[in-house]
Structure 1
Amino acid sequence: MPKQKTFFALMICFSLASSYAHPVTPTYFKLLGFNDSMFGLAFAFMALGMFLASPFWGKVSALINSKLTMALGSAGYGLGQIFFAYCTSAGWILVGRLIAGLACGAFFVGALTYITNKSTSTSRGQNLAINATIQTVAGALGYFIGGLVGAWSLPLILNLQIIQLFLTACGLYWLLEADKTTNQPLALRQLVKEANPFRAFLASCQFMNWAYVIIFLAATLVFSAYTAVDQAFNYYLKDVYHLNSSYNGFFKGAVGLISLLANTTVGLYLMKKTNVRKSLVVINFLASLSLLLALILPGTWAYVGLIIIFYGFYAIVTPLLQDVIAMQATKANRSLVLGFYQAINSLGMIIGAFLAGGLYDLNTQLPFIFGLGAFLLASLLSFYYQRLTKST
């Protein structure tokens, strides 16, 4: 992949910045007097934006190029964070979250498309694994920085995030090579026509088959479970243990280290040396097992430690899922498939965020129980998918 180091450096910059606000969000919402369900609602609005926009950006990436799509996404996220930081009413904060979600759809679809278009068939899996590792580890480091700086000054970390997102957008546009996937000129009329998100969803009929239905359903369960656990755990530390945002950062830092070790050892080994479809089944099952042990073993630190191990398994699952889906796509429908994959990712985030807030209000452990069941079902669906595509 040309300019590989530059691309991954910019991915680090975006992943760092995108996580700065997460550890301070519970504190921020408490200061503004919002109720407990607001943390799930705000995240769900962001996920809704990603869900609506991702298929659209999948189509647009084929008309323009991935670097421009990513640049628009990073700048749009910065715009959304301006609303988040400077508008203190619940309604305007939700608007900011929705804008951020629309922008994230552009960035993540653009990044996946750039990697698959610029990589060879032999290096694609490795580059996807590196990308997933960067997103997890840099995201955790950004979480750590956000927690520490945010505990000292909320305005400082929010403004730093906004500035870094806009600078990253400039870097993505000026420093990367274009990868325009078609020779068609970009017509404004065509772009407006494609801007209907539901029309973009209908485009999935061009590639959808039973195997895709199964693996996308498994992916929806994985992303729903992870989001529910992640959102509930983040809020749990503040609500139950009354820890300030720096502790959220410390825990996410530990998650980043575990994820880095998991992906650079186990993850890369599975991508290079094993049948990825079979490995996906096993890792999904181990993720569900870690949640089960967290729920039944006594002791606070056992609970926290097993949740962190769960994060490590999720870090491995992500590139495995991406490689399985990209492997089945053809060059002609790749942008559509990856756009739909990102939409499924966002759909899972919407479901997980809404359930995290609602279930948490009923019982603080219910989001984790949901995560256990969803990952277990995902492992069964992954097994069925592996059997269904065994001959391909």
Structure 2
Amino acid sequence: MEATNTLINASKELVISSLLVNALRNNAAIAIWRKPGSSTVEAITDKDQEGYIGQLKDLDRLPPGFMIHPFISSQLHPPLYIKATNYFSFNLNEEATDASQIGELPYIGEGKAAELAVEIRKFIHNSQPKATVTTTTKSNFIETVNKAIEAINSGELFKVVPAKVKSIELPNNFDLASVFLNLCKAYPNAFINCFYSEKTGLWIGASPETLIKTKGDKFFTMALAGTQKAKGENPLKNAAWTQKEIEEQALVSRYIVDCFKKIRLREYSEIGPKTTVAGDLLHLKSEFLVDMKSTNFPQLGSVMLELLHPTSAICGMPKEKAMEFLHSEETFDRSYFAGFIGPVNMNEETSLYVNLRCAKLDNKETLLFAGAGITEDSVPEKEWEETELKCNIIGQFIQPKK
């Protein structure tokens, strides 16, 4: 991961656009991200588009890179690992960007930022979708929710999380770099990301949910569920949770605890549940921490990754029955939505996030994905409204209101 001083005092839009254009021109895979609570934008590129995934149980042995894992692995949507052959980073808080901290970028004059944005947009417009995606109608989604409630009332399921896909037009003035930076500003506590490879296509997102995080001897995961719109000047104080939302979040927490029990891990700390802000939405969150050294469990990250995915927050409980329900009822392939993404073994830290609040930039349209946790107390109309709110997390930046 070498960096050279090749671009000085460039705008942040120009740096991000340059990274993207160079990757696209050279047929290289690229990932750009900013971690929750961080002011550092990081990026890696690699011309080896085949990637390297190995086994999830070998997570600790992977070279530094960025993992892109689908909801369900398939020939059409395989896992991909972008190795950190070239590494770049810069600080969002600095007025000017000094490329001594960025990496190998050709010098491009400041006036070229708009031209690069156009080149990226043309690339998206000329990309050929790998498969036809059927968008979800309101009537079909509500019908699926009603079927889910019936399955729960019959005792077949405790919870299930059906999803939908929504299509919006990609505007003629779309600027991917500006959208990325606007997401960083709007959602400081989300994992802001953008990645591209020939196999995955081009995605952008702002995920609120950590799947696993390991740093040194510390392991971290979270249970995030329950959704309501943030209201008032102090939305955390104004939050009032219904029994449905409390139970939905409790199911996710119990799922994590059950995973700990499977590996006979009893020494962990649980914090929460407490209300957390994710953009314009509120969620209930519990955090789980483990000292891997004191528990003598150095491979806990790899083991829990295999056990957790897909979590009950994106699938349901019991997992096998919920997966069968989703397979029979959902009319589209989730692809990399509800999979997991993030940097692995970068600066001695691994941070993987559930790929939520995301969009695929597909030819002349943008595909937005969202799911809703269904329990026996769900109201179908409200679940549809929740998915609309979740789609808008990204949609409002791609297609701003006039």
TM over 0.5: no
Shorter-chain TM-score bucket reads under 0.3
TM-score of the aligned structures, taking structure 1 as reference length: 0.25
Give the greater-gyration-radius structure (CA). Answer: 2
Q: Relative to total residues, which structure has the larger strand share, 1 or 2?
A: 2
Q: Relative to total residues, which structure has the larger helix share, 1 or 2?
A: 1
TM-score of the aligned structures, taking structure 2 as reference length: 0.25
